[in-house]
Amino acid sequence: MVHQYRNNGYNIVLDVDSGSVHVVDDLVYEVIGFLKERRTASAQEIMNALGGRYPQQEVEEALEEIRFLEKEGQLFAQDVYRGPVLDFKNRPTVVKALCLHIAHDCNLACQYCFAGEGEYHGRRALMSEETGRKALDFLVANSGHRRNLEVDFFGGEPLMNFDVVRKLTAYGRELEKKHDKHFRFTLTTNGVLLNEAVMDFCNQEMDNVVLSLDGRKQVHDRMRPTRNGKGSYDLIVPKFQEFARRRKALGKQYYIRGTFTHYNLDFAQDVLHFADLGFDQLSMEPVVAPADAPYAIRPEDLDPIKDQYDLLAREMIRRGKEGRGFTFFHFMIDLSGGPCVYKRLSGCGSGTEYLAVTPWGDLYPCHQFVGNEAFLLGNVEAGVTRQDLVGTFKTCNVYAKKECAECFARYYCSGGCAANSYNFHGRIDSVYEIGCELERKRVECALMIKAALASGEG
């Protein structure tokens, strides 16, 4: 399968099944378009189709280059991964990451929160140290030979239970020595309780921190008020700036992560606002919400959103050229060291490699399923008791979704989000169409940025 498109003056050809990305001239772009429709066309037929607009020698050269790439498996490659290469059902899986819901409580009342003000439509609760230790024991015991394990302190707002975060991190370090494992700890916070002690601790122990900020003050405060209805922007931004400055000095990762909604369809301005505040590791995701929510992304919003991604991509190139570049998570594609095909086809790992743990130790396929009893997998003491559900998630992959068969972005999105599929279609092996449409656009922009960098622009 070949996908070709034009963006920002570049002709880009993505050979989907080999992952090869080619930047081509107008002649090759036309020829490949013709060959997509008529794979066995002769040189003469192609010449005729081009209507004499290119010299014959040029056309012959172009065809020679196309055939060379085809022979090398970099153009019109076939999908050779299905079947014997990837036996999804029988592949052994181990648990390698936990999302620890350290607090089902929050000091903000964000309008779009899928956790319903941090409580996951249940009761307020904080995870005890004992439950957390059992969760880490469960992870180590179920991780097989995997050495790299991940634990994200999540909520609600994890800093509402910071003492337990501290103790569990220390316990994780003990387990590392005992079992020859490596823990990668991360923490997601709204910043309200961020202080010197938290920063020092995180800079020592957290491989990554995700700092929630939605953009410009009026945008952020509209969606992320405190429990008593006040905005939170002025309280958190100076702290985030200091935190990011310190982490950057230490060479540590952080992400400023926002959510955009129907209310700020000009979200590129919010991403650029992050950059103007001095942040340089940025992420901004479209809200996923019930279709009738006033802030939900609607089908008619898609075109303006795509325009914003284009604008953002061009601005990233421009600022990069000026020496004030930044990274944008969804435009980060590693063409030389990206994930292997096994990873790309099997998806995010929810329900198999990645599990969420509630404050009282229940296990769910991921943080977005928490609170839905139909997806309760077990608990940290008894382990996973619903192997049937794990099996369902194991076989939920790119090949299980008919929509992915014709999609050029399938090796980048890996079949999309099971929770989004469930929330919109009542089943995990479908797709969330708005998410698909936006992912395709982001992949196109990301590859265009690569083309610009390769051409010396940016």
Partner 1 sequence: MKHIKTLNTRSLQESVKKGGCGECQTSTVGNQTCEKNR
Residue 3 DSSP label: E
Residue closer to partner 1, measured from CB, 219 or 356: 356
Nearer to partner 1 by Cβ, of 207 and 266: the residue is 207
Q: Nearer to partner 1 by C-beta: 106 or 271?
A: 271
Burial class (CB in 10 A: 0-12, 13-18, 19+), 170: exposed
224 binds partner 1 (CB under 8 A): no
Q: Rounded to the nearest whole angstrom, what is the least distance from the CB of residue 203 to partner 1 in the complex? A: 20
Element containing residue 20 per DSSP (H, E): strand 20-24
439 forms part of the interface with partner 1 (CB under 8 A): yes
Residue 149 token pair: 């394990």
Task: Give whichever of 208 and 232 is closer to partner 1, judged by the CB atom.
Answer: 208
Q: For residues 118 and 103, is the Cβ–Cβ distance under 8 A? A: yes
Q: How far is the CB of 244 from partner 1 (least distance, A)?
A: 20
Interaction residues for partner 1, span 330-349 (CB under 8 A):
330, 332-344, 347-349
CA distance 225 to 223: 6
Our CB check for partner 1 shows the closer of 220 and 442 to be: 442
218 Cβ contact list (under 8 Å, min separation 6): none
| Residue 81 engages partner 1 in binding (rule: CB under 8 A) | yes
Q: Which stretch binds partner 1 (CB under 8 A): 40-48, 69-77, 211-219, 373-381?
A: 69-77
Which span (25-33, 169-177, 295-303, 312-320) binds partner 1, by CB under 8 A? 25-33
Query: Which region, judged by CB under 8 A, interacts with partner 1, from 20-28, 222-230, 386-394, 420-428?
Result: 20-28
Which window, 113-121, 147-155, 173-181, 196-204, contacts partner 1 (CB under 8 A)? 147-155
How far from the centroid of its chain's Cα atoms is residue 334's Cα? 13
Q: Is 405 in the site for partner 1 (CB under 8 A)?
A: no
Structure tokens at 451: 């083309």
What is the C-alpha separation between 68 and 66, in angstroms, rounded? 5
The candidate with the shortest Cα–Cα distance to 192, out of 125, 243, 147, is 243
**Of positions 5, 34, 74, 306, contacts partner 1 by CB under 8 A:** 74
Stretch that binds partner 1, among 16-24, 45-53, 105-113, 123-131 (CB under 8 A): 16-24
How many chain residues touch partner 1 (CB under 8 A)?
A: 64
* Residue 270 binds partner 1, judged by CB under 8 A: no
Residue 147 vs 298, nearer CB to partner 1: 147
Q: Omega into 156 within 30° of 0, i.e. cis?
A: yes
Residue (239 or 344) nearer to partner 1, CB = 344
x-or-dash pattern for partner 1, window 92-121, by CB under 8 A?
--x-xx------------------------
Q: In what order do the strands lie in the sheet with 378-379?
A: 327-328, 281-286, 253-260, 208-212, 182-189, 148-154, 97-101, 354-357, 362-364, 378-379, 383-384
The yes or no reply on residue 357 touching partner 1 (CB under 8 A) is no
Q: Is residue 396 at the binding interface for partner 1, with CB under 8 A as the rule? A: no
Q: Is 8 in the site for partner 1 (CB under 8 A)?
A: no
Burial class (CB in 10 A: 0-12, 13-18, 19+), 166: middle
Contacts of partner 1 in 312-331 (CB under 8 A): 329-330
Which one of 1, 5, 19, 400 is in contact with partner 1 (CB under 8 A)? Answer: 19
Contact between 21 and partner 1 by CB under 8 A: the answer reads yes
- Of 2, 35, 46, 69, the residue at the interface with partner 1 (CB under 8 A) is 69
Amino acid at 46: I
Rg for the chain, CA atoms, rounded: 24
Of residues 342 and 381, the one with the C-beta less far from partner 1: 342
For partner 1, which is the closer residue by CB, 236 or 448?
448
Closest by Cα among 408, 384, 388, 386 to 398:
408
CA 191/CA 238 separation, integer angstroms: 10
What is the smallest separation between the CB atom of 404 and partner 1, expressed in angstroms? 13
Helix or strand run (H / E) with residue 186: strand 182-189
Q: Binding of partner 1 at residue 25 (CB under 8 A)?
A: yes
Task: Provide the 10 A C-beta neighbour count for residue 82.
Answer: 12
Out of 5, 8, 20, 142, the residue judged to bind partner 1 by CB under 8 A = 20
Q: Would you count residue 354 as binding partner 1 (CB under 8 A)?
A: yes
CA torsion, points 147, 364, 382, 145, in degrees to nearest 10? Answer: -10
CA 208 – CA 188 distance, rounded (Å): 9
